[in-house]
Amino acid sequence: MTDTTLSSPRTNLSPFAGLMSGTVGPVTVVVLAILAIWYIAAAALNTPFQQDMYERAGQEHVQFTQLIADTWAQERPVLPAPHQVVVEIWNTTVEKKITSKRSLIYHSSITLSSTLLGFLIGTTLGILLAVGIVHSRVLDKSLMPWIISSQTIPILAIAPMIIVVLNAIGVSGLLPKAMISTYLSFFPVTVGMVKGLRSPEVIHMDLMHTYSATRVQAFWKLRLPYAVPFLFTSMKIGMAASLVGAIVGELPTGAVAGLGARLLAGSYYGQTIQIWSALIVAAILAGSLVALIGIMEKVALKRMGMAQ
């Protein structure tokens, strides 16, 4: 009881331990470590090309610091340095008009809209499938194997087919890309919701039975509330998968807009800085979307009285 108050935990610790005690500390340390590794890797990977350049220009005895500085400032490096990516992102977001074809915000919004559409359809589909599977043995037995095997097909193989088939029947624009997001995002939602809808404790199911509750009543009053935390967790996975789907969906069409199109164009012209900035923006987008669902989860669980 008392020994927790005897030694104050903050007095005799090293500054490093103090740094690691919050959440900001560890995150900062990890970010710094990643940046350091990135800079070193950039220098190492870009050195051969840089030395070719010196040779061609007849420069000899270049100082080491000069070499390093030059590897971090190439126009088309094998691996761009972090600050080059940051500058590129700055130039293509803040400095560009949103309507410009070179604006990353413009491209992001294209990808975002098919991500959200696909996610919405995928989540709805996932919930409906789960409800069917939980309530019907026949659906459980007949659908589940197909749902699982659907995810063993590599998305890169199936994406062009989906796009081509949908184009052939006259569906174009946002929807074909969104279909690929749907294809990737319905799965985690289905699996998570099946688990969630089946998770009520036996005693709670028995209670419903003693009330002679109908299946519909048991669903709304017991299964669904139980499944809510599962739903949010699987929606986070589904959202990230949706974004991947939307980007992948932009590759085979030779799309001219979207983050996927930026990646494609970047690799055509060896614009590695452009590729990396599109990648980083995609990662930021995914992180923000998942964080948004996390906030919705907190609010929902608090309103349900389940966040203590």
Closer to another protein by Cβ: residue 140 or 201: 201
Residue closer to another protein, measured from CB, 139 or 207:
207
In terms of CB distance, is 160 or 225 closer to another protein?
225
Using the rule CB under 8 A, give the single segment among 52-60, 85-93, 166-174, 207-215 that binds another protein.
207-215
C-alpha distances in Å from residue 108, one per residue of 47, 119, 219: 33, 16, 39
**Shortest spacing between CB 296 and another protein, in angstroms:** 16
Q: Per CB under 8 A, which of residues 176..205 are in contact with another protein?
A: 201, 203-204
- Size of interface with another protein, in residues (CB under 8 A): 19
Considering only 52, 55, 95, 206, the residue that binds another protein (CB under 8 A) is: 206
Q: Does 306 bind another protein (CB under 8 A)?
A: yes
- Closest approach, Cβ 132 to another protein, in A, equals 23
Q: How far is the CB of 152 from another protein (least distance, A)?
A: 33
Please identify, using beta-carbon distances, which residue of 143 and 207 lies nearer to another protein. 207
Contact status: 213 vs another protein (CB under 8 A): yes
Residue 211 Cβ vs another protein, minimum distance, rounded to whole Å? 5
Q: How far is the CB of 138 from another protein (least distance, A)?
A: 24
Binders of another protein among 224-253, rule CB under 8 A?
A: 225
Question: Which residue ranges make up the site for another protein (CB under 8 A)?
Answer: 201, 203-204, 206-213, 217, 221-222, 225, 304-306, 308
